[in-house]
Structure 1
Amino acid sequence: MPVQSIEPQRLYRQIAEQLRALIAQGEFDTGARLPAERDLARQFGVSRPSVREALIALEVEGWVEVRTGSGVYVQDRSHRKAAPVAAHEWGPLELIRARRVVEGETAALAATLGRRKHVDAMTQAIAQMRELADQNIMPLEGDRAFHLAIVEACDNAVLAETVQGFWDSRKGPIFSRLGGHFETVPSWRAAIVEHEAVRDAIAARDATAARAAMHDHMDKAHQRFSASWRRARRTA
């Protein structure tokens, strides 16, 4: 399979461009299954998460279809007109890693600077998440409210806008499609427990524990989105 070396910048876009070109050139016929993620990662010399982001981008654009438990298949594009993914869209897994760095520190700051009203806002957000999860609804708004309550305790407009921008980036087509494959009510219930650990550490004014709890939450979120396709379950 002819591939070129990848430069470490917007990796998922570069990988997607090469795969798109290979498909267009007939390297993979319509209906053909692409090589496994691990094989593509080895051939491109990149990580599996970067390959996954590229495959999701191609699925959004209509080049491939991810069939849970089976593989990734080339689509017939003769009658398809899907818009390309915006050049500025961040890769979801890369975004989670960036959030780990920033939000670990906002959690620690919140433990130091936060007041009762901020902890109450976190508790209300968790309750909203649990209520929606009990109705088999993805509790996205509660999740957003939780992370914003943490950064609001830091009393820093730059951090607040940064965290809000991070979270709102998950509304993009790549993150939304990835969530469609890997986010389920059980996975959200696990995330709620992780949110409670962050809230409890902040309420206890333990900055070290708050940072560690947020790091743990982001690490587990990354693991959930990096799980085997065979373990993925589409949300209803």
Structure 2
Amino acid sequence: MAALAYECWTMKLNRSKLYQRVAASIADGIESGRWATGTRLPGERDLAEEYKVSRPTIREAMIALEMKGWIEARHGSGLYVTHRDSQGGLREDALNLDIGAFDLTEARILFEGEAAALAAVSITAEQLAELDGIAQEMSDPAVANAALFDADHRFHIAIANATGNAAIRSVVEYLWDLRTRSPLCANMFDRARRNGVNPRFDEHRPILDALHARDPHGARSAMRRHLRGVVDDLLEATELELLERARHELDARRDTLARRLEIGPD
């Protein structure tokens, strides 16, 4: 059953992904001259409306194009075209950076929400004690970021293990592996970490409380709430990074201008 779960996920991931189709279409627009090199792309909301997709999908497409060198953030006003390919645009398969953090987290909401509900009715006292210990680690302000991420991983895997279902545990482990195995996903989580997004104990406490109460509905809701918060954090962090990079560029330009203005007759 676990092998079947892996096979199903592999087949799904090998299909063309929505962010790839959007990114390839934008690259075609750049190549056809709709957006010339140096021009600003439309805003995220406008692109989402044009392509009839969500903001997270547009964000993943933009990061994929940025990773491939087609666009960049600058001037504090958005994303600008930096590249045109005389070979005829960018194929979808050339944009295959596996899946992004938003798609991954959406899958986690589905799987881990149900895993938490099942765990609530089957978890043992020993497994609750294990989760309490991990939660204690996460609540320690002296714990380094790397250790926090390790504790976060162990917390979620422990819940999957508490379901008593090997296939569920295998799927949850696979989803967590994708965080580092998928280039686009790893890039997005790295951006979030650089902007101070770390696992927080207060986000996990409601999950743990529901498990102690052996409340499947509460555990499901708490897990889904927590993971929706991850999506919100990722959206904010990737947006903040664009703004921060633009701010650094503006500061550099101001410094250059100040130096130039100092040159002149005494």
1:182 equivalent to 2:192? Answer yes
Counterpart of 2:150?
Answer: 141
Counterpart of 2:90?
Answer: none
User: Within 2, Cα distance between the matches of 1:30 and 1:58?
Assistant: 14
Q: How does 1:34-183 map to 2 (within 5 A)?
A: 34-66=41-73, 70-76=77-83, 84-86=94-96, 89-130=98-139, 134-137=143-146, 139-171=148-180, 172-183=182-193
Point out the more displaced range, 30-39 or 179-188: 179-188
1:209 equivalent to 2:214? Answer no
User: Within 1, Cα distance between the matches of 2:132 and 2:63?
Assistant: 34
User: Within 1, Cα distance between the matches of 2:44 and 2:237?
Assistant: 10
The number of equivalent residue pairs is 220
Alignment CA distance shift 1:146-1:68 (3 Å): farther
Counterpart of 2:40?
Answer: 33
The answer to whether the 8 Å contact 1:68/1:229 transfers is: no
User: Within 1, Cα distance between the matches of 2:177 and 2:167?
Assistant: 15
Point out the more displaced range, 96-105 or 30-39: 30-39
Counterpart of 1:223?
Answer: 232
User: Within 1, Cα distance between the matches of 2:191 and 2:107?
Assistant: 22
TM-score normalized by structure 2? 0.71
Gaps of 5+ in 2: 1-15, 86-92, 245-266
Q: CA deviation at 1:156?
A: 1.0
Q: RMSD in angstroms over aligned alpha carbons? A: 2.9
TM-score normalized by structure 1? 0.79
User: Within 2, Cα distance between the matches of 1:94 and 1:167?
Assistant: 12
AA aligned to 2:65 is: L
AA aligned to 1:223 is: D
User: Within 2, Cα distance between the matches of 1:14 and 1:43?
Assistant: 13
- 3-state SS of the aligned residue for 1:166? helix
Which structure would you say has the larger Rg? 2
The answer to whether the 8 Å contact 2:197/2:237 transfers is: no
